[in-house]
Structures are given as C-alpha cells and as structure tokens.
Chains A and B, each alone.
Chain A
Amino acid sequence: MREYNEFEIDPTVRQMIAESQRLPEGPEKVMMLEEAVRIADTGNDVKLQYDAREELIEGAFWSGETEKALVAYTWCLAQFDKNPALFMEWSLLWRYKWIVNIAFHFPQIPKEQIYEMLDEMERRYRRAGYGLRVVYYYRHRIEKFFGNRDAAIEHFNYAQTLARDTLSDCAACETDERVSFQIYCENDDLALDLAEPILLGRQRCRTVPQRTLGHVLLPLARLGRWDEAWDYHLRGYSMISGKPSLLEYLSDHLLFVGLYGDFERGARLLEKHFDWVKQITDQYDRYLFYRAALLFLDILSDSGTATIELRMPESFPLYESGGVYETAKLKAWFEARAREIAEKFDVRNGSDSMTKELAETPDLKRVRRRAAGLLNA
C-alpha cells in the first residue's frame, strides 16, 4: 500500500511503473499498474495519467486482461485528440492494432462498431502519413473471423501489395500471418514451407516462434509428419507454459496432444491451464480452449476411457474432491461452454461459422495418429 501526498504523486507513479516492469506478466503486474493509474488520477498532470495508462495497456494486454487495456486505450485516444502535441502518435497508433484485436474477440461489441474501428484506424493511419498494409491485414483477419472468406482473401492479397513501414507488423509476425493464411486456404504444404524461416530460428520476435509452433501442429498432423510435430509441440509448449496470455496458442497444443494420443500429457495440460481460463477475459481465447478440451475428451471417450483423473479447482462447477471425473460428463460441460460462446459470436457476426466449426470439430479425429497399438482402426 502506498502512502503519498500531492507533491509525491509523480515520483510515486513513476516508481510503481518501474517496479511493475520487473514483474512477470500476470495479475500482480496489472494490479500495480491500475493502482499507478489511480494515483496519477488524483493529480492533474495529464502526461502522467497518460504515461501510466500506456503502461497499463501494455501490461494488461500481455497479461490477458485485455478489456482493461481497451478501456485505458480509449482514454489515451481521447486525450491525444485533445492535445496531440503532448503525446507520441506512433505508439498510440501501434497499439490501435491491439485494440482492434481485443475488440472483435468480445461478442458484445457489435459488428458495425468493429468496422467503424477499422475505418477510424485507416483514417488515423492515413492522416499520420503511414501506409495501410497493416490495416488491411486486420481487415482480412476480421473478415476471416466473421466467416467472409472471399473478402478475407481479397484484403489479404491487397495488404501484401502495400509497402511495409514502421507501423507494419514485424517480419516474423508477417511470416506467421502468411502461414496462418495458407492454413486457412487449406494449403498445408505451402504453409509449412513459409514457416521454415521461423521454425529454423531465423525469424523471431516477442510472440514468434511461439505462435507459429502452435499453428503448424495441425497441418503437420494432417500430413502425417508426427515426429516433427511432436518436436515443435515440445518446443512451443515449453515457451508458453508459464504465460497465461498465450492461452490462444496453448489451445493448439492441447488439440494436438489429443490427436497425437498422449492422454496422460493431455490431462496434465487440461488441468494446469484450465485455471488460466478464469484469468483470461478474451472470449475467443476461452472458446479455443474449451473446444480443444472438448476434442481431447471426445478422443478419450472414443478410446474407451470412461473416467479421468484431474486436479480441478474447487470453483469448477463439476468439482469432485476425489479428482475422478466421468469423461462423458466433462466433455458435455466443455462442449456446452464452447457452444455458448460460439453462439454469441455467431449472433454478433451474423453468420454460423463458429457454431459450424464447433460442430465439425469431432471430424478432426480423422487425423489422429495411427501408431501401433494405439488404435484399433
């Protein structure tokens, strides 16, 4: 708890920001930065309030508490518009990307508002003299999310033709985007070729190769390249297993482990990371986790495993103090959670793409590993 008087607001806030930078991503860091913002707000130094919020945006975003980043960001945006000379435009515009990413992952934010955000992004980038490459990458992502395949492909191709500049995603991120796009277009081989610079360690950044190592698992599995996939799983998982904000990529791993057939590992992943779901407010990330868990449990029950031992937290609605769960019951629970979210998204998106994806999830079992003794099929 901080004691301070009005003359000490600035040093107190700066001190807290410095301290927060030494903390790992997670609730403690976010709490400290929220506190810094609150203290900054007791004074009337707009610059300080802005700086503290920028740190909060950064901390909350990377800690998976994205709605807090969104709220702080809108405040900064408004202050910037009031007094552009006081703040750095580049970093504000850079983080605009995050905000778009955050916003469309919350189903309660309507479609028109997402489009409006993109238009505003385009206006702001243009006015500040930047290119629109990244804007169109985001337009493509969003159309993909909304289930508008043609528009997604069109935006992606257009983005590719625009020049890179300092607001573009870094080279490693763009490679990853191309990999994801080719997976989306069902060109697994091409996707894996494109991923090579990342997989060989020649391109990297804050989220790459972690992201890519998750993305390539399913394509590799589809192509029967299980050994490579397993290696990438080990590599990728060890890089994210301590970072709740990367729940999205973790889901790729859980999905893969189920298909690979390592049930023991799958169970450990499920129980360990179920706890993160509470922490992560991003609805789409939650959906991905529930969906991966559902597939894992589905495979498990296909293999004749009626019960599973899991250490779930007491807050889990199906909590059993003995830690033994019926596979079928668990599966139904995860399926229901995934469906709830998918339905909300579909209503918002005006499409049926997510519920359809969820309904088709069991089809992924076709790509299960058929190792000796693992399957009767």
Chain B
Amino acid sequence: MDYRFQVNLGGIIDLLSHHIYSSPQVFIRELLQNGVDAITARLHAEPGHLGEVHIELPAQVVGQSPSLIFRDNGIGLTEEEIHLFLATIGQTSKRGGLPDDRTDFIGQFGIGLLSCFVVSEEIVVVTRSAKRGSPTVEWRGHADGTYTINVIEREMEPGTEVLLRCKDGSEEYFEPETVRRLAHHYGSLLLHPIRMTTPEGSFQINDEEPPWKGEYSTPALEREAYLEFGRQVFETDFLDYIPLQSSIGDVRGVAFVLPYSMSLAARRTHRVYLKNMLRSEDAEGLLPDWAFFVKCVVNANDLRPTASRESFYEDEALAATRDSLGRSLRNYLLEIAEREPKRLKKLIQLHYLSIKALAAEDEEFFRIFINWLPFETNMGTMTLTEYRREHEVIRYARGLDQFRQVARVAASQSLCVINAAYTYDVQLLLKLREVFPEARFQEVDGDTLSHSFEYLTLDEQDEIERFLKYAEHTLRPFDCLVEVRKFSPEDLPALYTASEEANFRRTIEKTKEVTDSFWSSVLDNLEDGTLEDADGRLCFNYRNPVINKVCRMSDETLLRLSIQVLYVQALLLGHRPINAREMKLLNDGLMGLVEWGADLIVDGVQ
C-alpha cells in the first residue's frame, strides 16, 4: 500500500510568501496572470474570443471584512483540473522554468492562487470550464490547508471567479486606490482589457499602449511620446530615449538615457515585462555590464523566467538578447557621435564611465570614442585629442601613488602625465597602443622620472661626498637609498619615491608596532614572500638652495639632524604612513636642531 504525506498547506504558504515572492502585493500580479493565462488557453480553442479580466470591489458591509473579486472569461477549470492543481502545489517548488503547456497553466494557477493566502484567510474559486457540458464548481480553500469542492447550481459563462476576504492587517490591499494602482503597475501593458468596478463606478485600467507600439507622423511626436512614457514610469525627465528591439527573446522596449551620472556600483533597475506582465523592477542580466547609463522598460515574450518568475534564467537566449540590446545602445552612441556633437558632449560629460567601459571591450567603438573621452592629468582634465595636440608622447602613471609621486615634478618639467588610476583608464590606454601603433607611450613613475634628472658635475660630486656618506648611513636602517641630482621645481628639497612593494612593506612595519608577537611573525612571513623591490629612494635636489648649503656643511651633528628631518619631510610630502621609528627620527632631528640653534645663540651671547 502506498501512502502519501499530507502536504501542509499552511507551511507551504508560509514558505512561498517568504521565499518565492518578494512581497505580498504580488498576489494582484498572480491573479492577473492567472486570468491572462486562462484567456490565452481559451483563445487556442476559440480564436477570436474576446478576453477580459474584471476586478470588483463590492461595497463594504459594516461588520464584515472587505472583499475582492477577480473574474476572467478564460478557459475555466473542471473539477478534475482543480484536483490537478492542488496536487501540483506540493511539487511546484521542485523545478524551475516549467514548460509552457496546459498542465503548466494549471500548476501555475495553483501557485498563483496560493499567493492570495498572504492577504486572505479564505479563497473561494467559482469556475466553469469551457468544455461542453461542464458544471459550475466551487472550491473553498483555507490558509490552514483545509478545503471543500462542490458542484453548485449556478449558471455562469465559462471562466473563473476568485473571491478573497481580507485578513486582519491586510486592509490596505483591499482599498480601491491600492488595487487600481497595483493592477495598473503590473498589468498596464496587458493586451486584454482589465476593468475595475467599485461602488463608485466602472473603468478600464490598462487603456494606454507602450510607445513602441505607436505610429508617429513626425520624429518629434515620437520623441514626445517616448519621453512622456519615461516620465510617467520613472518620474524622471530623461535626456533621450533609445528604442530597443531583439528578435531573439522577442523583446521590445525602450532605454532611457539618465539625466544624471550613475555610479558603477549602483543597482541597475529596469522594468521588465514578461508577456506584457510586469515581472521585475530590478532584473539582472538583461543589459551588458557597461550599460549603466540607461533605465529600461522592456517586454520579452520569449525568455525563460526563473522559479520565482521575477527574473530571467541565464541561458543562451538571454545572452543573445543581451548582445542584441547592447548593440542597440552601442549604435545609438555611434549615431550621436556622428550626427549630434552637442548631445554627445552632454552624454560624455554625464556618462563617460559607461562609455569608457564599452570602449575598453569594443575595438570599433573605441576608435570612434577614444578621442572624446576625458582623462585626468597633472595639468587638468583633458580629452586625448587635446592631449595629443600638445604632447607627442603619451605619459601615464598607473596608480594614484605613482601619479602623486610624479605630478608636481613632471609638471615643472612641462611633462603632462595622465592619472590612469581610475577604472578602465589603464585598459583604454593599453588599447590605444594596439589601435594606434604610431602613438608613443611611456609609463611614468618616480624612478623613470628621476632617471631624467640631471647628474652633478665631477666637482660637485666631490663636494657632496661627505653628505652622501652620512645620508646613506642615516637612512640605511629605513631601507632607503639616497641620491643627489638636479631637478625642478627648485623649491622641492627632496623627492621620495617607492614602488608598491616598498609601500606595502612600510604598511607592514607600521602594523607590527601594534600586533602581538604571533601576528607580527605572520606578517614577517607574508613580507618575505611578496617583496622584491622594496627599497625606497630619496633624491635630494641640488638646485634647492637649502639642500645646496646642507650638502656643503661640515658639522657632523648638524648634517645628521638635517638629513633626518628632510627624510621625514619628504615622506610627509608624499603622504606616506610614518611609523614610530620615523616619528622619533623627526622628533630627535627637530629637537636636535633647536638645541643646536639655542646653543649657538647662548654661546654667541656668552
């Protein structure tokens, strides 16, 4: 004998309402979907049938909780089919993306209905199948999982009527305004009319068409219609619109160009309809990653929804759709670049990140846009066209740190350096090299820059020998190499440069000041494996008047103190983390100098 577990409907409702559906108001969507599915099924059998969904909010009776009736003139259900959907409920969570056939419709009908238990303790379904000779059947289901099925004496046209009675605490979902708003929200694009009747009267909820279905006598009218639609849906005055179409996935829609800049990490929210029903307001994966300068409204007739039916299943069809929609956006940008320089300027100003992201992965697009895109340099923000007009070699620093090390010194030598620390910039510059092999490039960091610093003459070298010896000796414990060269700007006494490894080592050293012995030795081990070129380099500027004097000083103490202070000052100028030893170096150096000065005066007085 086979036994079956009793499915605990209460438990399933709870699970569904908490896990599958994102929020309770989706019961309206589910009821609309059930109605539309039933009409579609009937249309297969009776082409030409005029489907309609009807929502009725009866006048409220004092002492009774409010109710809501959903009616459709679709295919209806037989008693057997009601049993079928009840049986399916227990299994529905098993597989996602059911195939689109009759059993699926019945199964989905059941799940759709379940979502109503979130707002209603009891659901009454009265239905009559369009099959010849079918009786009217009534199903009464309760949230605790009990139900009754009866054949009732009632004449009705084929179709289904669902009656919900408000659960305590769900009153807001039975307010006429809420119901209208939600039904419009989810169903405004549905092809069959949705009528609503309240004690005040009767009206159609979905009487407007999406703009891509309209025909326009002039481009201006089309523009007006699209932008107005955008205003209504997103309450935003968009900069522009891009009609979208993809035969794969059978997608139509529109992308609106945002009138403000979007950050890269911001959530991308698009309105996505599946077979004209609003399914998601934050569906992922419909557009390529770079397309964060638009907000879309799209309808897809031929993509596979996930189990919750709120987003799409990532498969080849979705990938192909994404490519196709991406191409629409790309073509739009290319067209603007060609025809509307003013709009292009505005677009780049707001959405250059999006455009950079696309240019980084698309060669043809890159060729057209690269000269328009802005880059930050040590001489201000400029486009590559502007840059190349003035400078033959394209110089760039890969990181913020490198950029900072070189910005000032490079500027004083009239070298313009691009700060390529920002997302996509390095990629774009490397691509530039591939696409325009004639352009010359140079990655600049403190080292490459200091190579161009002028050497001292032999005499001068003799002069500073003693200074160099002291400096090397003083700074060796700080893993710092020392040089003396001539460079501008003159008012810069010394330039400290370091590789990323050296910076990382500095960070580790500083951290070890607070960690216990165990973690310090972990850090030591980490350091051992990662660092190769970890020395810093301090380059004194012989052209600086103070340095010039210091180099020729003979007093040993004074020499040492000055070197200490100059070293830490160079670190500070370069925004380096100062560790405790260096702090002490600075303090000792300063105090020593003060003391030396004081002695001088006191001695002088004596």
Q: Is the CB of A235 within 8 A of B528?
A: no
Least Cβ–Cβ distance between B346 and chain A, in angstroms: 22
Residue of B nearest to A39 (CB): B575
Partner of B285, one of A21, A37, A238, A313: A238
**What is the 8 Å Cβ interface bit string for chain B, positions 502-520, against chain A (1 contact, 0 not)?**
0010011011001110110
A24-32, A147-155, A349-357: which lies at the B interface?
A24-32
Q: Does B223 contact A (CB under 8 A)?
A: no
Q: Given the complex of chains A and B, what is the CA–CA distance between A24 and B514 in angstroms?
A: 31
Partner of B515, one of A27, A39, A75: A75
Q: Is the CB of A75 within 8 A of B511?
A: yes
Q: Is the CB of A26 within 8 A of B529?
A: no
**What is the 8 Å Cβ interface bit string for chain A, positions 115-149, against chain B (1 contact, 0 not)?**
01100100000000000000000000000000000
Partner of B96, one of A82, A103, A200, A234: A200
Q: Does B319 contact A (CB under 8 A)?
A: yes
Q: Does A78 contact B (CB under 8 A)?
A: yes
Q: Does B306 contact A (CB under 8 A)?
A: yes
Q: Is the CB of A77 within 8 A of B515?
A: yes
Q: Given the complex of chains A and B, what is the CA–CA distance between A54 and B483 in angstroms?
A: 38
Q: Is the CB of B525 within 8 A of A110?
A: yes
Contacts of B95 in A (CB 8 A): 200
Contacts of A239 in B (CB 8 A): 314
Contacts of A234 in B (CB 8 A): 314-316, 319
Least Cβ–Cβ distance between A147 and chain B, in angstroms: 21
Least Cβ–Cβ distance between A136 and chain B, in angstroms: 22
Q: A22-B266, A35-B400 known; A28 and B508 CB under 8 Å? A: no
Q: Given the complex of chains A and B, what is the CA–CA distance between A200 and B19 in angstroms?
A: 13
Q: Does A79 contact B (CB under 8 A)?
A: yes
Q: Does B91 contact A (CB under 8 A)?
A: no
Least Cβ–Cβ distance between A20 and chain B, in angstroms: 9
Q: A35-B400, A106-B526, A238-B314 known; A74 and B265 CB under 8 Å? A: no
Residue of A nearest to B96 (CB): A200
**What is the 8 Å Cβ interface bit string for chain A, positions 300-311, against chain B (1 contact, 0 not)?**
000000000001
Least Cβ–Cβ distance between A372 and chain B, in angstroms: 20
A63-71, A251-259, A361-369: which lies at the B interface?
A63-71
Q: Given the complex of chains A and B, what is the CA–CA distance between A280 and B399 in angstroms?
A: 16
- Total interface residues on A, CB under 8 Å, equals 50
Residue of A nearest to B522 (CB): A113
Partner of B514, one of A28, A75, A113: A75
Q: Given the complex of chains A and B, what is the CA–CA distance between A200 and B526 in angstroms?
A: 41
**What is the 8 Å Cβ interface bit string for chain B, positions 199-243, against chain A (1 contact, 0 not)?**
000000000000000000000000000000000000000000000
Least Cβ–Cβ distance between A38 and chain B, in angstroms: 5
Q: Is the CB of A74 within 8 A of B400?
A: no
Contacts of B285 in A (CB 8 A): 238
Partner of A38, one of B316, B399, B577: B577
Q: Does A202 contact B (CB under 8 A)?
A: yes
Contacts of A27 in B (CB 8 A): 399, 421
Q: Given the complex of chains A and B, what is the CA–CA distance between A116 and B308 in angstroms?
A: 45
Q: Does B81 contact A (CB under 8 A)?
A: no
Q: A28-B422, A38-B575 known; A202 and B19 CB under 8 Å? A: yes
Contacts of A120 in B (CB 8 A): 518
Q: Is the CB of B264 within 8 A of A67?
A: no
Least Cβ–Cβ distance between B524 and chain A, in angstroms: 10
Q: Is the CB of A24 within 8 A of B504?
A: no
Contacts of B307 in A (CB 8 A): 200-202
Contacts of A116 in B (CB 8 A): 518
Least Cβ–Cβ distance between B287 and chain A, in angstroms: 12
Q: Does A108 contact B (CB under 8 A)?
A: yes
Q: Is the CB of A201 within 8 A of B308?
A: yes
**What is the 8 Å Cβ interface bit string for chain B, positions 346-368, against chain A (1 contact, 0 not)?**
00000000000000000000000
Q: Does A163 contact B (CB under 8 A)?
A: no
Contacts of A214 in B (CB 8 A): none
Contacts of A281 in B (CB 8 A): 530
Contacts of B515 in A (CB 8 A): 74-75, 77-78
Q: A71-B508, A201-B307, A202-B93 known; A313 and B430 CB under 8 Å? A: yes
Contacts of A38 in B (CB 8 A): 575-577
Partner of B399, one of A31, A75, A108, A201: A31
**What is the 8 Å Cβ interface bit string for chain A, positions 55-96, against chain B (1 contact, 0 not)?**
000000000000110111011011101100000000000000
Q: Given the complex of chains A and B, what is the CA–CA distance between A71 and B512 in angstroms?
A: 9
Q: Is the CB of B319 within 8 A of A71?
A: no
Q: Is the CB of A74 within 8 A of B96?
A: no
**What is the 8 Å Cβ interface bit string for chain A, positions 140-181, against chain B (1 contact, 0 not)?**
000000000000000000000000000000000000000000
Q: Does A1 contact B (CB under 8 A)?
A: yes
Contacts of A108 in B (CB 8 A): 525-526, 528-530
Q: Which of B290-304 contact A (CB under 8 A)?
A: none
Q: Given the complex of chains A and B, what is the CA–CA distance between A231 and B575 in angstroms?
A: 50
Residue of B nearest to A35 (CB): B400
**What is the 8 Å Cβ interface bit string for chain B, positions 530-567, against chain A (1 contact, 0 not)?**
10000000000000000000000000000000000000
Q: Which of A233-283 contact B (CB under 8 A)?
A: 234-235, 238-239, 242, 281
Least Cβ–Cβ distance between A84 and chain B, in angstroms: 15
Q: Does B140 contact A (CB under 8 A)?
A: no
**What is the 8 Å Cβ interface bit string for chain B, positions 29-50, against chain A (1 contact, 0 not)?**
0000000000000000000000
Q: Is the CB of A113 within 8 A of B525?
A: yes
Contacts of B523 in A (CB 8 A): 70-71, 74
Residue of A nearest to B20 (CB): A202
Partner of A26, one of B315, B423, B511, B530: B423
Q: Given the complex of chains A and B, what is the CA–CA distance between A79 and B96 in angstroms?
A: 49
Q: Which of B81-110 contact A (CB under 8 A)?
A: 93, 95-96
Residue of B nearest to A275 (CB): B427
**What is the 8 Å Cβ interface bit string for chain B, positions 311-343, against chain A (1 contact, 0 not)?**
001111001000000000000000000000000
Q: Does B404 contact A (CB under 8 A)?
A: yes
Q: Given the complex of chains A and B, what is the CA–CA distance between A32 and B265 in angstroms?
A: 15
Q: A23-B263, A235-B314, A238-B314 known; A103 and B522 CB under 8 Å? A: yes
Least Cβ–Cβ distance between A65 and chain B, in angstroms: 10
Q: Does A10 contact B (CB under 8 A)?
A: no
Q: Is the CB of A23 within 8 A of B264?
A: yes
Q: Does B521 contact A (CB under 8 A)?
A: yes
Q: Given the complex of chains A and B, what is the CA–CA distance between A233 and B258 in angstroms?
A: 33
Q: Does B465 contact A (CB under 8 A)?
A: no
Q: Identify the B interface with A (CB < 8 A).
A: 19, 93, 95-96, 263-266, 285, 289, 306-308, 313-316, 319, 399-401, 404, 407, 421-423, 430, 434, 504, 507-508, 510-511, 514-516, 518-519, 521-523, 525-526, 528-530, 575-577
User: Can you add 4 more A-B contacts, CB < 8 Å, to A1-B404, A71-B523?
Assistant: A70-B522, A200-B95, A281-B530, A311-B434
A-B contact pairs, 5 of them (CB 8 A): A71-B508, A71-B526, A77-B515, A106-B525, A234-B315
Identify the 7 closest CB pairs spanning chains A and B, nearest first: A108-B529, A235-B314, A22-B263, A78-B514, A74-B519, A24-B264, A78-B515
